[in-house]
Structure 1
């Protein structure tokens, strides 16, 4: 009995999908290349440039702190011979604390950059998804598949690809904002 469940479920799924497609107002299976939409979307370039500038500033801040610390370390190494044991211990402790603070700051910056990158990417994807949904409604498509190279769509005729058309209109809409 258990051996029959998977084939029966598969048959039911195929029948349901077939009947959905047969009963649709527009019986066309179409898709868009999600990666191509993201890369070709003009807002992606604008957002990435702004993100890049922001990360460069954060990286410069970290680099500046590291450079200052390295200068202090070199100065300590030069003066170490003339310091008392107590002064050496104190300076080593201060340098160690500063290094730990820089490491903590660097990790916080990396986390912030990752979070902002994810947020930016999700915003772009949401823009595209909203537009594709509206496009599908306006043009009477019952379903628009998204191909992304991850196995969703293994093959489709080029005539079913709406990517360029949607990308052109998406960029036109963005330019109008």
Structure 2
């Protein structure tokens, strides 16, 4: 019987002696997991694309130039419309004194001019739309190039782009690089 007690006691003591070892191993595993999780969390960063576009100084400069050009084109269309409307008013006043042949000719001229104005207006709208898309794409290319270089320089493996429409549902403020990127982007554009 003594032998059995000694063996049981010996097993208990062995298990008790191994308990701190098991706890140490678990603590080490938990510590390593926490370390790697914290590293991976800090590598997941994003920028708000809408804020970058709106806050980028080049956007403001390009929009001002674009708006001037668009307003000039629209003013040309408006001017042509005013001229056509004045001709139409003159026609309305003078039509009673015109012959049938003169009436037909004047109506044909007015309709032709109206069609030309409509065609010009459509071409102008198309040009404005294309230039707006070109301007926007140029700005987006600038931002993308800067973010790519920033990511390489700072050692990020990936930088997400959120458009403010739910692409990233939640992220800690620490993960938001928008302001940092915007400041660097503007400094590069303004040459400082």
Is the 8 Å Cα contact of residues 69 and 95 (structure 1) preserved in structure 2? Answer: yes
What's the offset of the Cα at 1:26?
9.2
Is the 8 Å Cα contact of residues 25 and 140 (structure 1) preserved in structure 2? Answer: no
Q: Indicate the residue corresponding to 2:111 in structure 1.
A: 96
Is the 8 Å Cα contact of residues 26 and 140 (structure 1) preserved in structure 2? Answer: no
Q: Write 1 or 2 for the structure with the bigger share of helix.
A: 2
User: Distance between the aligned counterparts of 1:77 and 1:26, measured in 2?
Assistant: 75
User: Distance between the aligned counterparts of 1:27 and 1:37, measured in 2?
Assistant: 21
User: Distance between the aligned counterparts of 1:79 and 1:38, measured in 2?
Assistant: 55
Q: Indicate the residue corresponding to 1:131 in structure 2.
A: 146
What's the offset of the Cα at 1:149?
1.9
User: Distance between the aligned counterparts of 1:27 and 1:158, measured in 2?
Assistant: 11
The structure with more radius of gyration:
2
Is the 8 Å Cα contact of residues 26 and 142 (structure 1) preserved in structure 2? Answer: no
User: Distance between the aligned counterparts of 1:167 and 1:29, measured in 2?
Assistant: 18
Matched, 1:156 2:171: yes
Task: Name the count of aligned residue pairs.
Answer: 156
Question: What stretches of structure 1 of length at least 5 have no aligned partner?
Answer: 1-20
What's the offset of the Cα at 1:25?
9.2
Q: Which moved more, 1:40-49 or 1:150-159?
A: 150-159
Deviations along 1:108-151, whole A, 9 cap, x unmatched?
00000000000000000000000000000000000000011233
Q: 1:80 aligns with which of 95, 103, 109?
A: 95
Q: Indicate the residue corresponding to 2:125 in structure 1.
A: 110
SS in 2 for 1:32: strand
Deviations along 1:141-172, whole A, 9 cap, x unmatched?
00000011233211111110000001001000
Matched, 1:37 2:52: yes
4+ residue runs over 2 A deviation: 24-27
Structure 2 length-normalised TM: 0.78
